[in-house]
């Protein structure tokens, strides 16, 4: 009897979540219906409790009538975990194996998909500056969340993060003192504006928006792990369409192009760095 009750509660919960996500999509076009279920469920219940509500249905009613609550829920769904030179082996490998390829191009277009507050875009700008390539690069840093893009554009980060960021930078093959790239202010650490002179920060939804250019490099690191298989396939299709031949795809350390229907279209540049080259 107890198991039957638990199963019934889980079924009702699933129905409520489906209705919430469908309502969110129908109301404002944000499509989270194919995000990983357990992850999205945790974020929904966090917002239910934060709004002092008793049910997911109550949350649906509130987001339909309260724009501020809707904004808070969208922020909850956005994945904003990032840091400078995150997974240094990726950036070290990029420096050693991808930069030589980029030197052969007269101009370079790079897309940071799901850039969050911009730390990885700044990291790439620093790396390319040190390699003498920044002047011929255009970096497109996109995210679904307009609020985190404002933070990315500002280029101000907590000073307490600098020790870890410095260690990451050194491990990623950094060639200067990391402190050369920022000034300490009353609000934290502000990175020099020249690092974003060739960066375009813009809203883009990987779920609903299409390709907007052809790129030499696409980086989407630690985003796909929050999507289910259906959505992962859709995003891999988008990236494949957006990459030129011999274009580079960089993924997070728990992500891979292997076991997807695009696996035979790429060759691995670095297994540990999760860097792939489009060959077909």
Model pLDDT for residues 265-278, shown as the tens digit of each residue: 999 999 888 999 99
Higher pLDDT, 34 or 119: 119
Please check the confidence at residue 35 and state whether its pLDDT lies above 70: yes
How far is it, in rounded angstroms, from Cα 141 to Cα 51? Answer: 32
How far is it, in rounded angstroms, from Cα 280 to Cα 251? Answer: 19
How far is it, in rounded angstroms, from Cα 70 to Cα 209? Answer: 20
Indicate whether this model's pTM tops 0.85: no
Q: What is the predicted pLDDT for the residue at 142?
A: 97
Q: Which CATH architecture has domain 88-278?
A: 3-Layer(aba) Sandwich (3.40)
Q: What is the predicted pLDDT for the residue at 93?
A: 96
Higher pLDDT, 172 or 10: 172
Name the residue ranges covered by the structural domains of the chain. 2-77, 88-278
Burial of 170 (0-12, 13-18, 19+ CB in 10 A): middle
Model pLDDT for residues 173-199, shown as the tens digit of each residue: 999 999 999 999 988 999 999 999 999
How far is it, in rounded angstroms, from Cα 257 to Cα 22? Answer: 29
Q: What is the predicted pLDDT for the residue at 9?
A: 82
Confidence of residue 258 (pLDDT cuts 50, 70, 90): confident
Portion of the chain with pLDDT greater than 70, in percent: 97
Model pLDDT for residues 200-232, shown as the tens digit of each residue: 999 999 988 999 999 999 999 989 988 988 999
DSSP bridge pairs for 215:
243
In SS3 terms, the chain reads as CHHHHHHHHHHHHHHHHHHHHHHHHHHHCCCCCCECHHHHHHHHHHHHHHCCCCCHHHHHHHHHHCHHHHHHHHHHHCCCCCCCCCCHHHHHHHHHHHHHHHCCCCCEEEEEECCCCCHHHHHHHHHHHHCCCHHHEEEEEEECCHHHHHHHHHCEECHHHHHHHHHHHHHCCCCCCHHHHEEEECCEEEECHHHHCCEEEEECCCCCCCCCCCEEEEEECCCHHHECHHHHHHHHHHHHHHEEEEEEEEECCCCCCCCCCCHHHEEEEECCCCEEEECC
Q: What is the predicted pLDDT for the residue at 1?
A: 55
Q: What is the predicted pLDDT for the residue at 182?
A: 97
Please check the confidence at residue 78 and state whether its pLDDT lies above 80: no
- Residues 174/160, Cβ–Cβ less than 8 Å: no
How far is it, in rounded angstroms, from Cα 95 to Cα 269? Answer: 12
Q: What is the predicted pLDDT for the residue at 4?
A: 60
Model pLDDT for residues 91-126, shown as the tens digit of each residue: 999 999 999 999 999 999 999 999 999 999 999 999
């Amino acid at each position: 009897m107890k198991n039957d009750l638990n199963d019934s509660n889980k079924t009702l919960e699933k129905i409520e979540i489906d209705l919430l996500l469908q309502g969110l999509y129908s109301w404002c076009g944000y499509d989270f219906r194919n995000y990983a279920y357990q992850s999205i469920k945790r974020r929904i219940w966090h917002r239910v409790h934060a709004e002092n509500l008793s049910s997911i249905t109550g949350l649906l009613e509130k987001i339909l009538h309260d724009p501020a609550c809707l904004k808070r829920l969208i922020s909850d769904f956005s994945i904003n975990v990032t840091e400078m030179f995150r997974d240094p082996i990726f950036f070290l490998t990029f420096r050693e194996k991808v930069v030589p390829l980029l030197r052969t191009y007269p101009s370079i277009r790079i897309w940071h998909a799901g850039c969050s507050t911009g730390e990885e875009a700044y990291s790439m700008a620093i790396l390319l500056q040190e390699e003498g390539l920044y002047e011929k690069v255009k970096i497109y840093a996109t995210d679904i969340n307009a609020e985190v893009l404002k933070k990315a554009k500002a280029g101000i980060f907590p000073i307490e993060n600098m020790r870890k960021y410095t260690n990451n930078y050194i491990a990623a093959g950094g060639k200067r003192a990391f402190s050369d790239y920022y000034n300490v202010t009353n609000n934290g650490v502000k990175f020099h504006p020249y690092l974003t002179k060739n960066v375009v920060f813009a809203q883009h939804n990987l779920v609903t928006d299409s390709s907007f250019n052809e790129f030499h490099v696409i980086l989407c690191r630690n985003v796909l792990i929050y999507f289910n298989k259906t959505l992962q396939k859709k995003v891999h299709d988008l990236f494949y369409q957006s990459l030129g031949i011999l274009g580079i795809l960089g993924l997070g350390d728990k992500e891979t192009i292997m076991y997807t229907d695009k696996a035979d279209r790429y060759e691995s540049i670095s297994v540990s760095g999760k860097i792939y080259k489009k060959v077909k």
